């Protein structure tokens, strides 16, 4: 919207879903989203960067933590047809849109549900891949809770791969080393850094 005044008619138009179509990991995917969810106009640069540097196996058991309307997790689901992707978010609007987007893109190998981090992820899930476009302002305490919860649900050899703004990269390096005992900087760009750790045993 421009800086001019916004009428009720303008607002009525804003109530309609935003529709984003993008080629992600070789698949053309369509997402409906809405104002109030993260990056409603387009797939954000951090998500695209993470996908560009992510290795996915056909049978991955993956989890997208803080899935928003689903572009990261659903792109992974399109590339692991023999696996399952759990998409979780603490926002019920995000979950509603993600669930609809999974159906819209015929991705039945997904589980979509409300969860504050890993709070409702079943204890018996054994993940081979955890991903997240980490928000900048949830607090270091929440990150540590989520990282330890991820560790306890990851298979030996599983990876956690996150994208953050560059201002968080040193914290993530320290936290991954604390929790997983290792850290790899996969890629650092102008604005974002991709970080990875592995559950070694």
For the stretch 76-118, pLDDT in tens is 999 999 999 999 999 999 999 999 999 999 999 999 999 999 9
Please provide the average confidence, as pLDDT, over all residues in the chain.
94
Mean pLDDT score, 135-141: 86
pLDDT of residue 154: 98
pLDDT surpassing 80 at residue 1: no
Q: Where are the domains positioned within the chain?
A: 8-198
Please report the pLDDT score of residue 175 as a whole number.
98
Architecture per CATH, domain 8-198, reads as 3-Layer(aba) Sandwich (3.40)
DSSP-derived pairing of the beta strands 127-133 and 154-165: parallel
pLDDT at 139 over 60: yes
Which pLDDT tens digit goes with each residue over 21-62?
A: 999 999 999 999 999 898 888 999 999 999 999 999 999 999
What predicted TM-score, i.e. pTM, was given to this entire model?
0.92
Predicted confidence (pLDDT) at residue 192 exceeds the cutoff of 50: yes
Q: How confident is the model at residue 3 (pLDDT cuts 50, 70, 90)?
A: low
């Amino acid at each position: 919207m421009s800086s001019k005044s916004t009428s009720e008619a303008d607002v009525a138009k804003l109530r309609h879903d935003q529709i984003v179509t993008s080629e992600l990991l070789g698949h053309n995917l369509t997402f409906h989203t809405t104002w109030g969810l993260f990056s409603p106009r387009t797939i954000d640069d951090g998500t695209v960067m993470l996908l560009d540097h992510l290795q996915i196996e056909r049978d991955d058991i993956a989890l997208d933590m803080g899935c928003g309307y689903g572009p990261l997790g659903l792109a992974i689901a399109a590339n692991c047809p023999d696996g399952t992707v759990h998409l979780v978010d603490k926002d019920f609007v995000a979950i509603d849109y993600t669930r609809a987007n999974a159906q819209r893109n015929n991705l039945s190998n997904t589980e979509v549900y409300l969860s504050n981090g890993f709070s409702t992820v079943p204890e018996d899930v054994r993940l081979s891949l955890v991903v997240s476009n980490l928000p900048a302002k949830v607090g270091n305490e929440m990150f540590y809770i989520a990282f330890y919860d991820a560790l306890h649900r990851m298979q030996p050899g599983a990876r956690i791969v996150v994208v953050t703004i560059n201002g968080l990269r040193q914290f993530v390096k320290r936290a991954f080393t604390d929790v997983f005992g290792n850290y790899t900087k996969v890629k650092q760009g102008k604005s974002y850094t991709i970080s990875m750790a592995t559950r070694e045993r």
